[in-house]
Amino acid sequence: MSVNILMPALSPTMEEGTLSKWLVKEGDTVTSGDLIAEIETDKATMEVESIDDGTIGKILVREGQEAVKVNEPIAILLLDGENLSDIKSIKKVPAIESVQEIEKIESKEKLYFSSNKTSKIDLDTNINIENFKKNETRIFASPLAKRIAKQRDIDLSLINGSGPNGRILKTDIENFNNNKNLLKNKITTNNSNSELIKNSSMRKTIAERLVQSKNEAPHFYLSLDCNIDQLLKIRTMINLKSNDKYKISVNDMIIKAASSSLIKVPKANASWENENTRYFNNTDISVAVAIDGGLITPIIKDVQSKGLLEISEDMKLLANKAKDGKLLPEEYVGGSFSISNLGMYGIKEFSAVINPPQGAILAVGSGEKRPIVINDQLSIASIMTVTLSCDHRVVDGAVGAQFLSVFKDFIENPSLMLL
Amino acid sequence: MSNSDYDIIIIGGGPGGYVAAIRASQLGMSVALIEDKHLGGICLNWGCIPTKALLRASEIKHMLDNVDEFGFSVSNIKMDIDKITKRSRKVASQLSAGISHLLKKNKVKVFEGFAHLDKGSSDLKTVKIKTKDKDIIMTSKNVIIATGARSRNLPFVTSDGKNIWDYKSAMTPDKLPKSMIIIGSGAIGMEFASFYNDLGVMVTVVEALPSILPNEDEDISKIVETNFVKRGINIRTNTTLKSVETFDKNVSAEIICDGKIQTITSEKLILAIGIIANTENLGLEKFNVKIDKGHIITNEWLETDEKGIFAIGDVTEGPWLAHKASHEGVLCVEKIAGHKNLNPIDKSSIPGCTYCRPQVASIGLTEKKANLQKLNIKVGKFPFVGNGKAIALGDSEGLIKTIFNDDTGELIGAHMVGPEVTELIQGFSIAKKLETTEHELMHTVFPHPTLSEGMHESVLDAYNQAIHY
C-alpha cells in the first residue's frame, strides 16, 4: 500500500511551511532515514527524512511552494513492488482537507513527522492528485534553465521569464544570478523609482511576531549607565592568557552578567501565558543575530551553569549556524530572556521590542568614554548604556529596576559573577 | 503630428524585405516595398535557390556516374549545360512570381525603382523613388533598409563576366569550361567547386586561410577537403591571390603559398571572396546611421542610431544568410508594432548550410571557439558509416559532431557533414531554441532507420553512451 509523505511539523507551533527544495525526484528509491526534502519554516531550513523504504511515486507539492499546511501530503511513496498505476487505479488519493481531519488522524496515528498508511484513511473523503495539480502554479522554464537554476540553488518562482508566455530561459537565470544581491526576490519593476521584493517566510514571521509583541505586550523602558572599565580590564587579562585559543567578547560577559542577574532576580525571568505566568529556573538567553534578510535569536541555554569560555564558544557556533540558515528549531525557539546589542554600530542607546512570549529584553549600546562625576570630581570612564524593555504584565517597574541595578553591579564588579 | 503616406516603407524586396512587408501587413500596417531589380532579392534570383537547382543537376550527374553499384548500367549520358542553366533560371523566376503574388495578396504596395532617403517634417522620413518614367515621393515614420549585398571584388581583379566570373556568370555559363580557379572557399565557392567538378570541370580552389570552409568546425572541413581531393579538386589552402591576368581564352593567376609565387592558368576564374553591403546612394549620410566595415550598425531590435530607420539582412552585420534576414524582418516589424515579450535574435542559434557534395550544416560554436571561450565541453562524434540508412543509400561518408557545455548540459554546437545534413540541422536548431539539455535529446525517440539517428548517437557519444559506434 502506498504511503503519503506529509508535511512535517518541525516544531509544536508550526502551522505551515515552504517546501524549499526537493532532494529526490519521482522514481528515486529511498530508504528509511534518507533525506528527501528541505522545508523552510519561520526561521530555518530543515531536512525531512523518509520513514519508509520505497520509491517516490509522485511529488505533489512543487519546489518553492509556500504555506504548505502541516500534514498536507507532499509526496506519495510507493512501497516494494508497487508502481504509479497502482495509485492511479485508486483514483482518489487520500489526503487531508480540514483541521479536524488532521486531528483525527493525529490521534489515530500520533503523527508528528512523516507519513500515514493510506489504507487507514477513508478513501472517499478526500482530494485527488488532480486537485493538487490545480493548486500548483506551473512554472514554465526551459530544461536548461531548470538545470542551471538547480545547480545554482535558485528558486524559479522568483524569476520573471522572458520567453513566450513568461517561459524562463537560461538568460533569465543568468541575469538573476548576476544581480542576485540586488534583485533577490524581485517580482516586478514597473516603477523605475522602486522595486518590489517578495517577502521571505522569515521576513513575514519577524513582522508577525513584532506586531504581536507591540500589540499585546505593554512595553515600558528602563535605562541605566554602566561603567565598564573593570570589565574591559578583566577581559583584556583573560584574552592575554588565551594563546589565541579563545577570545572572550564584551557581549559574552554581558550574557553572563544578564544570566547572573536573572538568577538573583528570578521575577524578571518570566513569561506571560494569559492564565498563568511562567517563571523559569534556567536562564536560556536569546541573543539577536543579524543575518541576510532578517534577524534570528539563537539561544544560549543554561547560561547560569556555563563559564565565559563555553558561552563564547556557543555564541560563535550559533551565530555561524544562524548566518548559514542551519539553526535547528530547538536552537532558536524558546528562551527566557533576550539581549540585543547594537554597540558595534556605535549606537549609544536604544529600546528593543520584546521577543514574545518572553517578559523582557535588554538593549545594549556601545561602550564609550564619557565624562562622569565621582565624588564631585569630573573624570573619564568607559560607559555603556543599557535599556531594559519589560512586558508590564509580568515584569513590574520595581522588578525591572531591581534587575538592572543588579546587572549594573555585575558589570561594574565582574568578579562577583564568580560567586 | 503630420500624416504619413505609409506606416512602414521597406527598401529592398529580398528575403529580409518582402518577409518584413508581409508581416507588417498581417499586423494591419500600410506598407510600401521598393525594389530596384527583382522581387526575392539575390537569394531567390541569383543565390540560394538557383544554385540549389544547379546542384540538383550535378547530384544527378554524380548518381548517373555511379549507378553500377545499384545494379544499373547506363550508357551514352549526354549533358546539356544550357538546359541545366535554363532550368535553374526557370525555378528562380517561378519563385519570384510567387513573391509578387504573395505581396499582392497581402496588400503590400510594391514600387519598382531605386529609393533615396531624405529628412521630412518632424519625425517623418521622405523616400524618393526613381522609377522608369517618373519620381515618386512618399513619407513614413519608419523605414527599413533591406538592400542586401553584392559580391566583393579585389582591388586588382574585378569580375568581367567573360573569363572572370562573379556568382551570376557562374550560374549562367554559355558552355562548360574545361578548367576553373575558384578564389575563396566559403559556402559559395564550395558549392560552385562541387557543381563544376561533378560536371567534369578541372577545379582549383584557392583559400587564404589554413582550411576550406574556414567558418566550420575543423573536423568537418577536413572531411570535405578529403572528399574534394579524392574527386580531383585541387585544394590550395594558406594561399593568397597576388594578381590576375586575363587573356582571350583563359586567365592566369599569380598565387603565393609559403612565400613562393606560382602561376596557375585556367579557362575561368570565379571570385567568391565575400560580400559588400549595398549602402550607397540611399541618402543614409543625411541621417545618424552608423556604418562599420561597410555594414549598417543596429541595436538588437534592428534600429539604427537614427530613430525610425531600421536595417535588416545582409546590409547589416553577419551572418549573411537569408533566414537571418527574414527573421530580422519579422522581429523588426513586431518591435515597430509595439509587441511585448520579444527576444532579440540569438546569433549563436542561426544554422548555416552549404550544399556541396557532401553537404555541410552547422549551428553554434565550433570546438575551437568553445575552447577559446574556455568552456568546459563534452564532444560527441558519430560517423555516418555507423548509420544503417546512410549505408543503404550508398552515401555513408560524413560525421555528426555535437558539443555540450559539460557544466550545464547545454547544446552549444552541432556540426554535420554528409547526406541530407542540411535537412537534419533543424532538429538541433529546435533543440537549441527550446534550450534542451543532453538529457532531453538522449531521451528523444528518433525513428529507425533514418539518417537522424546519427544525431541521437552523436549526443549519446558525447556522454560515452553511443550504441552503434
> Per the CB < 8 Å rule, is B435 touching A143?
yes
**How many angstroms away from the CA of B304 is the closest CA of chain A?**
24
pLDDT over 70 at A180, yes or no: no
Of the listed ranges A13-17, B132-136, B312-316, the least confidently predicted one is A13-17
Distance CA B81, CA B79 (A): 6
**How many angstroms away from the CA of A149 is the closest CA of chain B?**
10
Q: Cell match 524618393: residue?
A: B128
Shortest CA distance from A151: residue in chain B? B408
Confidence class of residue B393 from pLDDT cuts 50, 70 and 90?
A: very high
Average pLDDT over residues B311-322: 96
Q: Cell match 549607565: residue?
A: A225
pLDDT recorded at residue A51 = 77
B295, B448, B456, B468: the active-site residue: B448
H helices of B66-115, where? 81-105
pLDDT over 90 at A133, yes or no: no
Distance CA B89, CA B54 (A): 9
Confidence class of residue A87 from pLDDT cuts 50, 70 and 90?
A: low
Better pLDDT: A71 or B225 = B225
Average pLDDT over residues A278-292: 92
**Beta partners for residue B326, in sequence order:** none
Q: From chain B, pick out residues whose CB is under 8 angstroms from the CB of A145.
A: 435
Q: From chain A, pick out residues whose CB is under 8 angstroms from the CB of B407.
A: 151
pLDDT over 90 at A29, yes or no: no
> Kind of pairing, strands A285-287 and A289-291?
unpaired
SS (H, E, C) chain A: CCEEEECCCCCCCCCEEEEEEECCCCCCEECCCCEEEEEECCCCEEEEECCCCEEEEEECCCCCCCCEECCCEEEEEECCCCCHHHHHHHCCCCCCCCHHHHHHHHHHHCCCCCEEEHHHCCHHHCCCHHHHHHHCCCCCECHHHHHHHHHCCCCHHHCCCCCHHHCECHHHHHHHHHCHHHHCCECCCCCCCCCCECCCHHHHHHHHHHHHHHHHCCEEEEEEEEECHHHHHHHHHHHHCCCCCCCCCHHHHHHHHHHHHHHHCHHHCEEEECCEEEECCCCCEEECEEECCEEECCEECCHHHCCHHHHHHHHHHHHHHHHCCCCCHHHHCCCCEEEEECHHHCCCCCCCCCCCCECEEEEEEEEEEEEEEECCEEEEEEEEEEEEEEECCCCCHHHHHHHHHHHHHHHHCHHHHHC
Residues from B contacting A (CB-CB < 8 Å) are: 341, 343, 407-410, 434-437, 439-440
pLDDT recorded at residue A165 = 79
Confidence class of residue A85 from pLDDT cuts 50, 70 and 90?
A: low
CATH topology of domain A204-418: Chloramphenicol Acetyltransferase (3.30.559)
pLDDT over 90 at A267, yes or no: yes
Of the listed ranges A27-41, A263-277, A328-342, B78-92, the least confidently predicted one is A27-41
**Out of A144, A164, A166, whose CB is closest to B437?**
A144
B290 CA to centre of own chain: 25
Q: A357 preceded by cis ω (within 30°)?
A: yes
- Tell me which range, A116-120, A177-181, B126-130, is most confidently predicted by mean pLDDT: B126-130
**Beta partners for residue B379, in sequence order:** B403
What cell does A301 get?
541555554
Average pLDDT over residues A137-141: 79
Shortest CA distance from A143: residue in chain B? B436
> Per the CB < 8 Å rule, is A169 touching B435?
yes
**Quick check: A114 and A49 in contact, CB under 8 A?**
yes
Confidence class of residue A12 from pLDDT cuts 50, 70 and 90?
A: low
Distance CA A117, CA A3 (A): 5
| CATH 3.30.390.30, chain B: domain bounds | 358-462
Tell me the per-residue pLDDT of A327-368, one tens digit each, with 9 for 90 and over: 887 888 889 999 999 999 999 999 999 998 999 999 999 999
Average pLDDT over residues B353-363: 98
CA torsion, ordered B320, B324, B330, B331, to nearest 10 deg:
-90
Top-level class of domain B358-462: alpha beta
**Out of B343, B409, B434, whose CB is closest to A147?**
B409
- Tell me which range, A40-44, A243-247, B244-248, is most confidently predicted by mean pLDDT: B244-248
pLDDT over 90 at B207, yes or no: yes
Q: From chain B, pick out residues whose CB is under 8 angstroms from the CB of A169.
A: 343, 435
Distance CA A118, CA A92 (A): 11
Distance CA B402, CA B460 (A): 9
Going by CATH, does the domain composed of A139-198 fall within 3.40.50.1950? no
**Out of B341, B435, B439, whose CB is closest to A170?**
B435
**Beta partners for residue A367, in sequence order:** A384
Tell me the per-residue pLDDT of B124-145, one tens digit each, with 9 for 90 and over: 999 999 988 889 999 999 999 9
Distance CA B21, CA B33 (A): 7
Inter-chain Cβ pairs, chain A and chain B, closer than 8 A? 32
**Quick check: A93 and A84 in contact, CB under 8 A?**
no
Classify the complex by whether its ipTM is higher than 0.90, answering yes or no.
no
**Quick check: B54 and B195 in contact, CB under 8 A?**
yes
> Per the CB < 8 Å rule, is B410 touching A144?
yes
A285 CA to centre of own chain: 15
**Quick check: B123 and B43 in contact, CB under 8 A?**
no
User: Strand, coil or helix: what is B303?
Assistant: strand
Percent residues over pLDDT 70 in chain A: 81
Tell me which long-range contacts A240-244 makes (C-beta under 8 A, separation of at least 24): none
DSSP 3-state percent helix, strand, coil across chain B (nearest 5): 35, 30, 40
**Beta partners for residue B316, in sequence order:** B296
pLDDT recorded at residue B165 = 94
pLDDT recorded at residue B15 = 97
> Per the CB < 8 Å rule, is B435 touching A162?
no
Better pLDDT: A300 or A137 = A300
Distance CA A134, CA A127 (A): 11
> Is A392 a residue of the active site?
yes
pLDDT recorded at residue A59 = 85
**Out of A143, A162, A164, whose CB is closest to B437?**
A143
Tell me the per-residue pLDDT of B249-264, one tens digit each, with 9 for 90 and over: 999 999 999 999 999 9
- Containing B128, the helix (H) or strand (E) segment is strand B125-130
Tell me the per-residue pLDDT of B86-105, one tens digit each, with 9 for 90 and over: 999 999 999 999 999 999 99
- Tell me which range, A78-87, B122-131, B383-392, is most confidently predicted by mean pLDDT: B383-392
A392, A396, A401, A409: the active-site residue: A392
Confidence class of residue A134 from pLDDT cuts 50, 70 and 90?
A: very low
Average pLDDT score, chain B = 95
Of the listed ranges A6-15, A215-224, A250-259, the least confidently predicted one is A6-15
Q: From chain A, pick out residues whose CB is under 8 angstroms from the CB of B435.
A: 142-145, 169-170
Distance CA B363, CA A221 (A): 71
CATH topology of domain A3-135: OB fold (Dihydrolipoamide Acetyltransferase, E2P) (2.40.50)
Tell me the per-residue pLDDT of B148-206, one tens digit each, with 9 for 90 and over: 999 998 989 988 989 999 999 999 999 999 999 999 999 999 999 999 999 999 999 99
Confidence class of residue A177 from pLDDT cuts 50, 70 and 90?
A: low
Distance CA A285, CA A299 (A): 5
The pTM (predicted TM-score) of the whole model is: 0.62
Residue B418 CB burial class (10 angstroms; 0-12, 13-18, ≥19): buried
Average pLDDT over residues A171-180: 72
pLDDT over 50 at B410, yes or no: yes
Going by CATH, does the domain composed of B164-273 fall within 3.50.50.60? yes
CATH topology of domain B6-150+276-336: FAD/NAD(P)-binding domain (3.50.50)
Residue B243's CB: how many other CB atoms inside 10 A?
A: 14
**How many angstroms away from the CA of B398 is the closest CA of chain A?**
29
**Beta partners for residue A271, in sequence order:** A278, A358
| CATH 3.50.50.60, chain B: domain bounds | 6-150+276-336, 164-273
Average pLDDT score, chain A = 81
The residue ranges of every structural domain in chain A are: 3-135, 139-198, 204-418
Q: From chain A, pick out residues whose CB is under 8 angstroms from the CB of B439.
A: 143
